[in-house]
Structure 1
Amino acid sequence: MSGATHRSSRRAEPGAGPPPAAVGTTRRTLLRGLAGAAGAGLTGAALSGCSSPKDVARASTSDPWRQFAGTTLNFISENTAPTAAIAANLAPFTELTGIRVNIVTLELTALVQKVALDLASGQSQYQIIYADPYQVLAPYSKGLVDLRELAADSSVPHLTGGFGDFIPTQLEAAGKFEDRDKVFALPYDCPTMIWHYRKDLFDKHHDAMSNDLGFDPTPSADTTWDQYAAIAKWFNDKTDDIPYGTGHQAKQHDSLMCDFSNVLWSYGGDYFDNGKAVGSLGTTDPGRCRLGSDEAAEAAAFYDRLLASADPASRTWDWDGVGAAFRAGRIAMCPNWHEFAASNEATMPGKVGYARLPKGPARSASHYGGTGIGISANTLPNERRAAWLFTVWATAPRTQLANLKSRAGGGTPTRTSVYELPEVRKAEKRPSAMPNMLTANAVDEAWKPANIGLRPKIPMWNECDTAIYTQLSRMLLGDAKPAEAMRDTADRIDRIVARGWVS
């Protein structure tokens, strides 16, 4: 999961599905083998035994946008807000290019499996790929096109604003892997965890909280996690306006890793040495896991205490669950992805505030969950150029602005130039026609290099993620002490990393 709001699939999947896994082969073994195949440069040979595919036709025209008119492309994506917005308004792209795009939206795990199978097949059922940095880009980067080659191709439209228009931390985290000189995906969405709070209740009880707690409870750059916990307990004990002070996405699921990571990083802990580099540029060899450190144990102990006073249903919630609970008036505040602001404002307009997450002993850290879109390296030359047209259009400032306004989906821009538009700046204050922009100040702080939280971008991350949230769940159930849970997680991750990705 990249952190964006889930939505149901809007289009039927085109064509036949990929070949099934061999009987007796586990999904993990299959994907590891496919990663090796993709890594070996399997971009032309068809393992499936099918005849060689034909390239799409290229018309002789003076309009570079129309040279592949009549082509059909397939875009496979997680069911995210930007894709929902694009799916609802594809007509401008088709009118511009004459290209039809089928959009397949899936849950991320299913997407990863289909992408892996497609890359290993040597052909490209899906020309355009939602390249989750951790589950697609890191393990399969050699199966993706280096987009700088297409950006330099004078026969196709250029990338509006160039690579430099993308927010730098996002371009590296969502678009690159190990090699700074290659770009495998263009930043497409940017969900980031921030502090959502009931501003109406904070305002109502401000003086009483200040007197009782001995500090200003208004969320600010100086607010600490200890103060956050104290505010949560105050709401539990001192008011009947709302059942619980805080709620969390602490289900035994990827969401639990996301929620805990904010605290881990703020305490100075990390999953590996050089955590920022491992999270931004990525690596195939991250070294030994550092969850056995004192900082990680302290972070886990605090998180355990925090959850003990949170809404007990937190252990059943992912990001959607905690978002729904917040909108239903069960909790006064929560950490959640910033793109839930649109739903908040639709349900309780004017009652919600947004801030950067609290700081720990080391720093404030807000988990970034953004993803890019890339092009399969199995595509043939003209098909690849046609896919480039969609990739350029889908991430263009004009399209990102339209997505921001869309009632069908949304998301927030990944380009600096969009945030500088007068109408977008105006939308940062209520009344806002673009409610996600109400989080602008919070995410602007969160995306700064000192504050951005980046999980490890390594090929074996999916297994590591499972180990993390499994042990955290044991801790929250009382089956493991915080330090023990961290040590056991570190041991498990070390075994995963030592085994490597390709056997």
Structure 2
Amino acid sequence: MTPSPPSSRLSRRGFLQLGGLGAGSLMGAAALGGCAADAPAVPAPVDGDPWKQFAGTTINFISENTAPTAAIAADLSPFAELTGITVNIVSLELQALVQRVALDLAGGQSQYDVVYADPYQVLAPYSAGLADLRAFDEDPALPSLEPGLSDFIPSQLTATGRFGHGDEVFALPYDAPTMIWQYRADIFDTYGGRMEADLGFDPTPGADRTWREYLQTARWINEHVAEVPYGTGHQAKQHDSLMCDFSNVLWSYGGDYFENGQDVGLYGTRDPGECLLRRPEAIEAARFYNELVSIAHPGSRGWDWDGVANALRAGEVAMAPNWHENAASNESALPGLIGYAPLPRGPVRSANIFGGTGIAISATSTGARRGAAWLFAVWATSPATQLANLTSSAGGGTPTRESVYSLPEVVKAAQRPSRLPNMLTTEAVTTAWEADYIGLRPKIPMWNECDTALFTELSRMLAGQQDPEAAMNRAADKIDRIVARGWVA
């Protein structure tokens, strides 16, 4: 690759001028055949422009069907005009994506150049098949990240981009769904005084409220409020959503899945040690969660995150923990009526599970496609593109760049009326991303199996088939067997 002079690297001002999304297309897997064979030799920059040096190249991006990908796929023309590169996007459900990526990396086929690297099902098991992005960022012949890696929210960069305690960066933070407390502000405005008089505490949602107070508030709404049938709803279906919902309570009670759980969640490991769900804190969390779901909307045991989001918007529940990126849909359905706060605290802390993911470059991608993949990763995670995604009618997502939150239009959008309704959650999620509040599931290669073991036993508990202590012990036994068996790529 012919290095370009340092002066050709994109300035911050130039970067912020790259925004604006319009009308591209999602391409199916069938459209990808033959791309690898057609990759041109690595060319020199066109007229000294490092963004044009891979013009004519076609790359393939495989992604879960998420909000930022929907927004980008709706209009790839700004990137095509900037670079002359064609991007085929394959958008799949997560399990199908994991299978495709695993086959691609195992076979060394390099069909997919840019990969949506879920931290638990792609990054942890397949980090050896992903490129270290620092090499691209430090190459003077390539545009670098502007204003730099340090602009990504620190907890997100580590949780979505690293595996192990080395210095490698395998992925750039791409989306940031986080579970927070979502509630009917109008119900609390109308009944808050009566609740406080009857319950003996201020029920206003926030991280100073306890989970026990949350339960008491929900029960009071069940009994006294005609506008909504139930005080709370939960994503307690036998599904990954149940693990997410329960984990918030587990961590708040001081429980965890493995020793040094925050470190395992941030950096990951292949050998997490013995499962901690047998400990008293975990059992007490399970007892409380069982009680909480018992007074929640009875539909809770059949709901995942979509089910509980729909219930809140339909006026079936007054509050629920759920992913913050529902804010735009909430505002469309119930304008001005939904409020947001960090989740309640337990005996130890408030914990808010983080579900973000990064985008990575396959280590098997070569030549011009490899360089083009870097240009796409830089552009797709740039402040300008993240701002444009917020305004897209096709998708959205939440910025992972600290600088975006300082932009005047984003600051303004954190208050109603808001033209960027996901930003109404800003105060809640920025708190939730702090080290003392963020909740991180274990970043281990075998987490998917452990997750299934946990939500299966929790579901049996919620159905009355076993008590909380038995559920935690059985889950721990299964998880220990899974971890002891290990994982081989």
State the TM-score, normalizing by the size of structure 1: 0.90
1:239-250 aligned within 5 A? 239-250=225-236
Alignment-derived partner of residue 143 in structure 1: 129
1:115-126 aligned within 5 A? 115-126=101-112
Supply the distance in 2 between the matched residues of 1:76 and 1:417 (Cα, whole angstroms): 27
Supply the distance in 2 between the matched residues of 1:236 and 1:114 (Cα, whole angstroms): 46
Q: In the TM superposition, what is the alpha-carbon distance from 1:221 to its structure 2 partner?
A: 2.7
| Counterpart among 442, 447, 452 of residue 461 in structure 1 | 447
| Counterpart among 57, 63, 66 of residue 41 in structure 2 | 57
Residues 14 and 74 of structure 1 are in contact (CA less than 8 Å); yes or no, is this contact kept in structure 2? no
Letter in 2 for 1:13: G
State the Cα deviation string for residues 355-389 of structure 1 (Å, max 9, x = none).
Answer: 00000001000000000000011111321111000
1:274-285 aligned within 5 A? 274-285=260-271
Supply the distance in 1 between the matched residues of 2:38 and 2:273 (Cα, whole angstroms): 44
Q: In the TM superposition, what is the alpha-carbon distance from 1:57 to its structure 2 partner?
A: 3.5
Alignment-derived partner of residue 320 in structure 1: 306
Residues 53 and 123 of structure 1 are in contact (CA less than 8 Å); yes or no, is this contact kept in structure 2? no
Alignment-derived partner of residue 270 in structure 1: 256
SS of equivalent to 1:392: helix
Residues 57 and 71 of structure 1 are in contact (CA less than 8 Å); yes or no, is this contact kept in structure 2? no
Supply the distance in 2 between the matched residues of 1:233 and 1:397 (Cα, whole angstroms): 43
Letter in 2 for 1:59: P
| Counterpart among 286, 291, 306 of residue 300 in structure 1 | 286
Q: In the TM superposition, what is the alpha-carbon distance from 1:423 to its structure 2 partner?
A: 1.2
Please give the root-mean-square deviation of Cα atoms over the aligned residues, in Å.
1.7
Q: In the TM superposition, what is the alpha-carbon distance from 1:11 to its structure 2 partner?
A: 2.5
Q: In the TM superposition, what is the alpha-carbon distance from 1:422 to its structure 2 partner?
A: 1.2
Letter in 2 for 1:397: P
1:47-446 aligned within 5 A? 53=37, 55-60=39-44, 61=46, 62-446=48-432
Runs of 4+ in 1 over 6 A off after TM superposition: none
Q: In the TM superposition, what is the alpha-carbon distance from 1:168 to its structure 2 partner?
A: 0.4
State the Cα deviation string for residues 411-458 of structure 1 (Å, max 9, x = none).
Answer: 110010000111111111000111011101101110000110000000
* Count of residue pairs the alignment pairs up: 464
SS of equivalent to 1:273: coil
Q: In the TM superposition, what is the alpha-carbon distance from 1:67 to its structure 2 partner?
A: 1.1
Residues 61 and 87 of structure 2 are in contact (CA less than 8 Å); yes or no, is this contact kept in structure 1? yes
The answer to whether the aligner puts 1:484 opposite 2:470 as a matched pair is yes
Letter in 2 for 1:14: A
Residues 170 and 414 of structure 1 are in contact (CA less than 8 Å); yes or no, is this contact kept in structure 2? yes
Supply the distance in 1 between the matched residues of 2:58 and 2:288 (Cα, whole angstroms): 52
| Counterpart among 28, 40, 44 of residue 13 in structure 1 | 28
Letter in 2 for 1:289: C
Supply the distance in 1 between the matched residues of 2:355 and 2:277 (Cα, whole angstroms): 21
Letter in 1 for 2:40: V
State the Cα deviation string for residues 289-325 of structure 1 (Å, max 9, x = none).
Answer: 0000000000000000000000111111111111011
State the Cα deviation string for residues 16-38 of structure 1 (Å, max 9, x = none).
Answer: 799xxxxxxxxxxxxxxxxxxxx
Letter in 2 for 1:482: P
Supply the distance in 1 between the matched residues of 2:335 and 2:41 (Cα, whole angstroms): 50
State the TM-score, normalizing by the size of structure 2: 0.93
Deviates more, 1:52-61 or 1:248-257: 52-61
Supply the distance in 2 between the matched residues of 1:125 and 1:416 (Cα, whole angstroms): 33
Q: In the TM superposition, what is the alpha-carbon distance from 1:405 to its structure 2 partner?
A: 1.4
Residues 264 and 299 of structure 1 are in contact (CA less than 8 Å); yes or no, is this contact kept in structure 2? yes
Supply the distance in 1 between the matched residues of 2:450 and 2:339 (Cα, whole angstroms): 34
Deviates more, 1:63-72 or 1:446-455: 63-72
Letter in 2 for 1:113: Q
Q: In the TM superposition, what is the alpha-carbon distance from 1:90 to its structure 2 partner?
A: 1.1
Residues 57 and 368 of structure 2 are in contact (CA less than 8 Å); yes or no, is this contact kept in structure 1? no
Residues 177 and 356 of structure 2 are in contact (CA less than 8 Å); yes or no, is this contact kept in structure 1? yes
Q: In the TM superposition, what is the alpha-carbon distance from 1:53 to its structure 2 partner?
A: 4.7
Letter in 2 for 1:463: E
Q: In the TM superposition, what is the alpha-carbon distance from 1:180 to its structure 2 partner?
A: 3.5
Supply the distance in 1 between the matched residues of 2:166 and 2:155 (Cα, whole angstroms): 12
Letter in 1 for 2:42: R
Residues 170 and 360 of structure 2 are in contact (CA less than 8 Å); yes or no, is this contact kept in structure 1? yes
Q: In the TM superposition, what is the alpha-carbon distance from 1:55 to its structure 2 partner?
A: 4.2
Supply the distance in 2 between the matched residues of 1:274 and 1:179 (Cα, whole angstroms): 14
Question: Any unmatched runs of 5+ in structure 1?
Answer: 1-9, 19-49
Residues 196 and 354 of structure 1 are in contact (CA less than 8 Å); yes or no, is this contact kept in structure 2? yes
Q: In the TM superposition, what is the alpha-carbon distance from 1:179 to its structure 2 partner?
A: 3.2
State percent identity of aligned pairs.
65
SS of equivalent to 1:105: strand
Residues 180 and 281 of structure 1 are in contact (CA less than 8 Å); yes or no, is this contact kept in structure 2? no
Q: In the TM superposition, what is the alpha-carbon distance from 1:123 to its structure 2 partner?
A: 1.7
Letter in 2 for 1:57: A
SS of equivalent to 2:268: coil
State the Cα deviation string for residues 49-97 of structure 1 (Å, max 9, x = none).
Answer: x9x9564333331111111111111111111111111111211001111
Residues 39 and 58 of structure 2 are in contact (CA less than 8 Å); yes or no, is this contact kept in structure 1? no
Residues 319 and 337 of structure 1 are in contact (CA less than 8 Å); yes or no, is this contact kept in structure 2? yes
Supply the distance in 2 between the matched residues of 1:462 and 1:399 (Cα, whole angstroms): 31
Supply the distance in 2 between the matched residues of 1:180 and 1:359 (Cα, whole angstroms): 33
Q: In the TM superposition, what is the alpha-carbon distance from 1:251 to its structure 2 partner?
A: 0.6
Q: In the TM superposition, what is the alpha-carbon distance from 1:12 to its structure 2 partner?
A: 3.8
Alignment-derived partner of residue 17 in structure 2: none
Letter in 2 for 1:461: W
State the Cα deviation string for residues 73-129 of structure 1 (Å, max 9, x = none).
Answer: 111111111111111121100111111111111110110000000111112111100
SS of equivalent to 2:50: coil
